[in-house]
């Protein structure tokens, strides 16, 4: 394990962004890339948060947006919790970017424990894990809202993916509003409980974000940076299956029926789309669309 370092308030390296907080942490403990935190530019940093219990849809969203943002050179901050948080870290790693996890316990206390592999990969990927609590401290319940305020302060924009109205995600969003930081949310169906918070935030004035491009336009200005992610070309059959996923087919059977394909052809098409990166399949086999766009059809 790498050495633990500290960043003390008032000394060089302490992120100035944290001074905006009502009660800035006196010091930060960290593991991993100290320079990444010390030279963090809030203007090139995005915090992505969301519910722990989300479906493949929320995970895929968080991961693909984080992946694209990381690809565009932004730092992704999140809390390493189950669901959206860890998906955001995973996505940033896939995108080849650096990512910072803010923990509620000490920086050496991996929580949740089952995210040990993610923790190691964040550090191996040139990222950092930080906390305002000393090494060895267990993450108490009250420490999570405290942690959320640091996540909100580190970046210029907090993006809410999927979350219920009353949740820890709400605390992070509220902190960001209090700090005058930008808040953005990905909208969802008005009947879905997981879209409660994002929809509410958008109604109250948060920016509506559909993909990483929208985030880039928000924080860097329209047209400054472009997410250029198009996948390999699709033949008619694959395009039909992808259209079925976009219409909401989430199980292989639903996909085959919607695309009018027999089971064997539908399976092949599904695997192809997954290999090309157009869809992902969750642990429970639920299919979700990623943000990857097919190339414009020259003969269309």
Partner 1 sequence: MASASVRTFTLLGIEAREVVAEVDVTQGLPSFSVVGLPDAAVRESRERVRAAISNSGFTFPQQRITASLAPANLRKGGPGFDLAIAAALLACRNELDPSALAGVALAGELALDGTVRSVPGVLAMAERAAELGIEKIVVATESAPEAALPAHLNGGSSKDLRIVPVHRLADLRLLGTSAEPSYDFSAAPRPALAATAGRDLADLRGQPVLRRALELAAAGNHGLLILGPPGAGKSLAARCLPSLMPPLSDAEALEVLRIASACGRADASLASVQRPFRAPHHTVSTAGLIGGGTPPRPGEVTLAHRGVLFLDELGEFTRDALEGLRQPLEDGEVTITRAAHTVRFPSRFLLVAASNPCPCGRGPTHPECECPPGAVRRYQGRISGALADRIDLAVTVEQPSGETLAGEPGEPSVAVRARVIAARERAAARQGDIPNGELDAAALRRHVRLTRAGRQELARGYRALGLSGRGHDRVLRVARTIADLADSDLVDADHIAGALAMRRKGAR
In the list 66, 74, 216, 261, the residue contacting partner 1 (rule: CB under 8 A) is 261
- Would you count residue 282 as binding partner 1 (CB under 8 A)? yes
Give how many residues touch partner 1 by CB under 8 A. 40
> Which residues are within 8 A (CB) of 259 and not within 5 positions of it... i.e. 6 or more apart?
237, 240, 241, 243, 244, 249, 266, 269
**Is the separation of the CB atoms in 141 and 104 below 8 Å?**
no
Q: What is the DSSP string of 155-178?
A: SSEEEE-S--SSSHHHHHHHHHHH
Would you count residue 240 as binding partner 1 (CB under 8 A)? no
d(CA 154, CA 140): 22
Nearer to partner 1, 221 or 262 (CB): 262
Contacting range for partner 1; rule: CB under 8 A; set: 153-161, 171-179, 213-221, 257-265 = 257-265
Binding piece for partner 1, criterion CB under 8 A, among 31-39, 136-144, 152-160, 269-277? 269-277
* Contacts of partner 1 in 92-131 (CB under 8 A): 112, 114
- Of the pair 224, 257, the CB lying nearest partner 1 is at 257
Q: Which of residues 36-65 bind partner 1 (CB under 8 A)?
A: 52-57
Draw the binding track, 186-215, toward partner 1 (x: CB under 8 A; -: no contact): ------xxx---------------------
Rounded Cα–Cα distance for residues 211 and 218 (Å): 11
Under 8 Å between Cβ of 182 and 194: no
Q: Which residue of 121, 268, 293, 294 would you call a contact of partner 1, by CB under 8 A?
A: 268
Burial (CB count <10 Å: 0-12, 13-18, 19+), residue 284: exposed
Which lies closer to partner 1 via its Cβ, residue 187 or residue 277? 277
Tell me whether residue 129 is exposed, middle or buried, using C-beta atoms within 10 angstroms of its C-beta: 0 to 12, 13 to 18, 19 or more.
Answer: buried
Phi–psi pair at 122, nearest 5 degrees: -60, -45
Give the interface with partner 1 as residue ranges (CB under 8 A). Answer: 52-57, 82-83, 112, 114, 192-194, 250-257, 261-264, 266-268, 270-272, 274-275, 277, 281-286
């Amino acid at each position: 394990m790498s050495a633990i370092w500290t960043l003390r308030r008032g000394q060089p390296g302490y992120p100035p962004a944290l001074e905006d907080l009502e009660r800035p942490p006196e010091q930060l403990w960290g593991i991993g890339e100290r320079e990444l935190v010390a030279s963090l530019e809030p203007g090139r940093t995005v915090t992505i948060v969301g519910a722990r219990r989300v479906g493949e849809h929320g995970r895929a969203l968080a991961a693909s947006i984080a992946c694209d943002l990381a690809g565009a050179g932004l730092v992704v901050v999140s809390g390493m919790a189950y669901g959206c948080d860890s998906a955001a870290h995973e996505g940033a790693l896939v995108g080849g970017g650096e990512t910072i996890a803010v923990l509620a316990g000490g920086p050496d206390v991996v929580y949740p424990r089952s995210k040990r592999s993610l923790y190691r990969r964040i550090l191996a990927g040139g990222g950092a894990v930080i906390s305002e609590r000393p090494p060895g401290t267990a993450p108490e319940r009250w420490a999570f809202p405290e942690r959320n305020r640091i996540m909100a302060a580190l970046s210029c924009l907090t993006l809410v993916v999927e979350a219920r109205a009353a949740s820890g995600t709400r605390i992070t969003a509220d902190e960001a509003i209090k700090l005058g930081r930008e808040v953005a949310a990905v909208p969802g169906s008005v009947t879905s409980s997981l879209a409660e918070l994002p929809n509410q935030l958008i109604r109250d004035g948060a920016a509506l974000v559909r993909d990483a491009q929208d985030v880039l336009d928000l924080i860097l200005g329209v047209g400054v940076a472009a997410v250029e992610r198009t996948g390999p070309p699709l033949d008619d059959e694959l395009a039909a299956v992808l259209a079925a996923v976009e219409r909401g087919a989430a199980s292989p059977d639903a996909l085959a029926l919607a695309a009018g394909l027999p089971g064997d052809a539908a399976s092949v098409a599904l695997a192809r789309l997954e290999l090309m990166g157009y869809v992902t399949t969750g642990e429970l086999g639920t299919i979700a669309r990623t943000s990857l766009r097919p190339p414009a059809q020259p003969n269309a």
